[in-house]
Amino acid sequence: MSTDVRSRPDDPARALARRARRHFLLDVWARFVRNRLAVASLLVLVVLFLAAAFAPVIAPADPNAIDLRPEMNLATPSLAHPFGTDDSGRDWFARALYGARVSLSVAFTAMVISTTIGTLVGSTAGYFGGAVDTVLMRLVEVLLSLPLFFLILIAQALLTPSILNLTWVIGVTTWMNVSRIVRAEVMAISATDYLQAAEAIGVPHGRRILRHVLPNAAGPIIVAATLSIAYAILTEAALSYLGLGVPLPDPSWGNMLQKGLTRLQEAPWLVLCPGLLISVTVLAFNFVGDGLRDAFDPLMKHR
Amino acid sequence: MEPGVKSLLAAAAMQRLVAIRLLHSLLVLLIVSIGSFALMRYTPGDPVAALIGQQARLMSPEDLAVIRRNLGLDDPVHVQYGLWLRNALQGDLGYSLGLKRPVTGVIAERIGPSFTLIGISLVLSIVLGVSFGVLSAVRRNTAFDHAVTVGSFIGNSMPQVWVGLMLVFLFAIKLRWFPAGGMVTLGSSGGGLGDRLEHLVLPVTTLTLTNLVVWTRYQRASLLEVLGQDYIRVARAKGLGERTVLLRHAWRNSLLSVVTLLGNSFVFLVEGAYIVETIFSWPGLGRLGVEAILKRDYPLVMGVAILSSLFIISGNLLADLAYGALNPRLRSR
């Protein structure tokens, strides 16, 4: 059995490959760390995630607790209530923390769904080429010329409103850009010598895609995934604002905007706070995505 | 190659581009029409009851069956779709359930305002975005460039809803410079050109702010790419003025990739219109669509979906034609 290189885990070529891969990731990290804006953004995101995870510990009040005392009606931001309260006396900071859980998990899960579909479609098109590629990419083009946001709205109106449905709808309608990026990447990799070699020694299609093509396309996929989280957060906000997103009483950054809008005149902080949170989070994801792009692809140091 | 042959080839390439795009548009419309038909046909609610209303309860099951048959509801689905499509092509998109009026009529009233809003925002986004992008690329790594880059990142990260609401708070509620919503002031004082312009300011700003940053980034990146090319160095080396190099050689070539953004921008503006028109009670298609969805008025929803697709399709076609006109390899003359 000594002819099969892959069966021997202590094979020097394999060890070398493993070291090279580790070095590659270390290189990426080293380049990423040099980008101060990206690192600062990553820190912001870590803080946000911790805040969302430990919301029950940090939150000064129950996010749904209604307090009808007059001093709690639309209270301006203070130490006790950093983001003020709404017209039912609910603590807006507590809602923002719990809202972060909802908004971030919707965006994350939607990203996983869209990245999975996009990677599947893109790698199939790019790897097999020819008619498969033409059909799939025409489909992508057609989908991109549909009024997608309107379709999301219709889908949300037809389905029972729930966080899960919202996540699926966003995920299923936003994979097209990922698929285009993956396709281009896979086409470039498929043309390389090492893939020709893999084909020559008879590695099956599935294994070639999973072991040789996709790991080498990981960089652009991760970048696209990061940017798609940003997009999903904005979409959640837009849908919830129109009343077709996260249903009450669950707080989300989007439905906080919707609630705040009714009291814009007396209590602008109800809109200001969740909007700032969304903007900062999306900005951080965009900066991290941009930093990752430069880190993965130092030759494309651009823009 | 003979110049005549060259231009023939160019014309053929351009025709091919437009032909592919038209075929592609037809496919989009087919999908939208099937989707719309399915939406009409398979959503909850009996079409017979919707048509004759309360009186349906007074009629015998036999009579209702006759009505069903006369309406074609017993025909096979593809026959029904064909009939629906023929009516749709003749401009008959059915009746709005909520407004009790033909969908086509309701939509016709709303196209104008949406067109104004989207058109002005598109022109402003392109003019401002391209200008900022060019200035930023020319003054690369200056404070101005950094400000533009960070600014475009920020503009790209703010929810449109929030931008709109903050503008309302600042300029309509606090400063009282501009009206918070609507298209004209109601009553005798409204209706003049100045009044209409005042109402346009905030919605146009919201839509433009979030769109122009994309043009800025695109223009900056593509101009920087072109400025790094050898032919720019050649142009400078042979002693052309910086102005000529920049405008005639670099910028014109950079536009080729910038203009591909036109199609995306159309999609973006049509989608933005749903949000912006809702915030500012702008009587356009976007707000009509959102209201129709919230009221489950499916014939109207379908009409707006078809119109939105037509908007996007014409945008893409326009982008292709602009690309063809700018690209010397595709220009026929």
Taking the CA of residue B227 and the nearest CA in chain A, the distance in Å comes to 12
Alpha-carbon distance of B49 to B210, in angstroms, equals: 45
The verdict on residue B39 lying in a domain is yes
Q: What would the mean pLDDT of A226-244 be, rounded to a whole number? A: 87
CB contact under 8 A, B28 and A147: no
pLDDT value at B139 more than 80: yes
| CA distance linking residue A91 with residue A63, whole number of Å | 6
Over range B258-271, report the average pLDDT: 84
Question: Is there a contact between B165 and A260 if contact means CB atoms under 8 Å apart?
Answer: yes
**Which residue range forms the structural domain that includes residue B19?**
3-44+93-331
pLDDT digits (tens, 9 = 90+) for A34-87: 888 888 888 988 988 888 888 777 767 777 767 666 666 666 777 666 767 777
A248-269 confidence digits (pLDDT tens): 788 888 888 887 777 777 777 7
Residue among B162, B311, B312 whose CB faces A278 most closely = B162
**CATH number (domain holding residue B225):** 1.10.3720.10
Contacts of A275 in chain B (CB under 8 A): 158-159, 161-162, 165-166
Query: Is B65 domain-assigned?
Result: no
Chain B positions in Cβ-Cβ contact with residue A260 (cut-off 8 Å) = 165
Q: Are B17 and B324 in contact (CB under 8 A)?
A: yes
Q: How many CA atoms lie within 13 Å of A138's alpha carbon, on the beta-carbon side?
A: 16
Of residues B31, B153, B160, nearest to A238 (C-beta): B160
Nearest to B162 among A151, A257, A287 (CB): A257
**In this complex, is the C-beta atom of A300 within 8 Å of any C-beta atom belonging to chain B?**
no
**Position B49 in a domain:** no
Judge whether B70 lies within some domain.
no
Mean pLDDT of B42-52: 62
pLDDT at B156 over 90: no
In chain B, whose CA is at the least distance from the CA of A157? B293
pLDDT over 80 (residue B74)? no
The pLDDT of B33-55, averaged and rounded, is 67
Q: Hey, what amino acid is at B273? A: A
* B86 within some domain: no
Contacts of A257 in chain B (CB under 8 A): 159, 161-162, 165
Q: Tell me the mean pLDDT in the region A274-303.
A: 79
| Distance from C-alpha of B24 to C-alpha of B21, rounded to nearest angstrom | 5
What count of residues does chain A have?
Answer: 303
Q: What pLDDT digit, counting tens, does each position of B209-235 carry? A: 888 888 998 888 888 888 888 888 888
Give B160 to chain A, closest Cα distance, Å: 8
In sequence order, what are the beta bridge partners of A91?
A: A85
Contact (CB<8Å) A154/B165:
no
Is B278 close to A271, i.e. CB distance below 8 A?
A: no
Contact residues on chain A for B308, CB-CB shorter than 8 A: 147, 150
User: Would the CB atoms of B39 and A265 count as touching at under 8 Å?
Assistant: no
A181-197, pLDDT tens digit by residue? 888 888 888 778 888 88
Tell if the CB–CB gap between B296 and A237 is shorter than 8 Å.
no
Q: Is residue B241 a contact partner of residue B183, using CB atoms and an 8 Å limit?
A: no
Q: Is residue B309 part of a domain?
A: yes
In a domain, B210, yes or no: yes
Residue B146 within a domain: yes
Residue A100 has, within 13 A of its CA and on its CB side, a CA count of: 27
pLDDT-based confidence at residue B333 (cuts at 50, 70, 90): very low
**Candidates A145, A148, A158, A288, partner chain B, best to mutate (most B CBs within 10 A):** A145
pLDDT at A302: 44
pLDDT at B118 over 80: yes
Q: How far is B197 from chain A (nearest CA, A)?
A: 24
Closest chain B residue to the Cα of A264, Cα to Cα: B169
Interface test mutation site (partner A, options B17, B23, B33, B161, max chain A beta carbons within 10 A) = B161
Each residue's pLDDT tens digit, A88-141:
767 778 888 888 888 899 989 999 999 999 999 988 888 888 888 888 888 888
End-to-end CA distance of chain A: 51
Q: Which of B28, B39, B157 sits opposite A282 (nearest CB)?
A: B157
More confident of the two residues A295 and B190: A295
Inter-chain CB proximity B293 and A272 less than 8 Å: no
For A244, the closest chain B residue by CA position comes to B294
B126: exposed, middle or buried (Cβ count in 10 Å: 0-12, 13-18, 19+) = buried
Cβ(B317)–Cβ(B262) below 8 Å: no
> How many domains does the structure of chain B reveal?
1
| Residues A144, A73: Cα–Cα separation, whole Å | 45
Give the pLDDT of residue B73: 67
CA-to-CA separations, B222 to B123, B134, B141, B217, in angstroms, rounded: 20, 9, 16, 9
**What pairs with residue A85 in β-bridges?**
A91
